[in-house]
Structure 1
Amino acid sequence: MRLTFLGSTSDGGSCPTLYATDRDTYVVQGDLVTDLEALAGLRDVLDGEGFVEIPKELLRFAPRD
């Protein structure tokens, strides 16, 4: 998978950050969701899937197709 940096709302080079892939998907870098109540609300979670929390403003870097 090849990643292309799209943007970040962080000043120090840490998360959150948004990347586009060469597979027509996005990868987000953000805080890992560990809240058990929040995790209990997720549906159809497959092995190997993870969840990160990002601010809404990060999506301004996503291309509008």
Structure 2
Amino acid sequence: MRMRFLGSTSEAGACPTLYETDRGTIVVQGLRLTDPDALADLRDVLDGEAAVEVPRELLTEIARRVLPDIPATAFPTLGSTPSATT
């Protein structure tokens, strides 16, 4: 599998970072989630799986770049909610 860098909200190439694979999937690089309360909220975690935390801003920025034909209002920032009509 090969990956293409999509972007990061971190300085100097640190986590979190998103990549697109040649298989049409997205890889998330980040710090492993270790908070026991948060881990207890996860569902159906399989052996070998891990959860990482990614800033909302990174996901919306990459979505804007990867899906340029989607209106910007489809990717709300913190504090706003998407409209059913947009």
Q: Same fold (TM over 0.5)?
A: yes
CA RMSD between the two structures: 1.4
Distance 2:4 2:47 in 1: 26
Structure possessing the higher radius of gyration over alpha carbons:
2
Identity of aligned residues (%): 66
Alignment of 1:25-40 (within 5 A): 25-40=25-40
> Going by fraction, where is strand more abundant, 1 or 2?
1
Which residue of 2 is the match for residue 19 of structure 1? 19
Deviating above 4 A after TM superposition, structure 1's stretches of 4 or more consecutive aligned residues are none
Of structures 1 and 2, the one with the larger relative CO (CA 8 A, separation 6+) is 1
Gaps of 5+ in 2: 70-86
Cα separation, 2, equivalents of 1:41 and 1:5: 30
How many residue pairs get aligned? The number is: 65
* Structure 1: tracts of 5 or more residues without a match: none
* Aligned counterparts of 2:46 and 2:24: Cα–Cα separation in 1: 20
Deviation at 1:19, TM superposition (A): 0.3
TM-score (norm 1): 0.88
User: Is 1:61 the equivalent of 2:62?
Assistant: yes
Q: Which amino acid aligns with 1:23?
A: R
The match for 1:6 is 6
Which has more helix, going by share of residues? 2
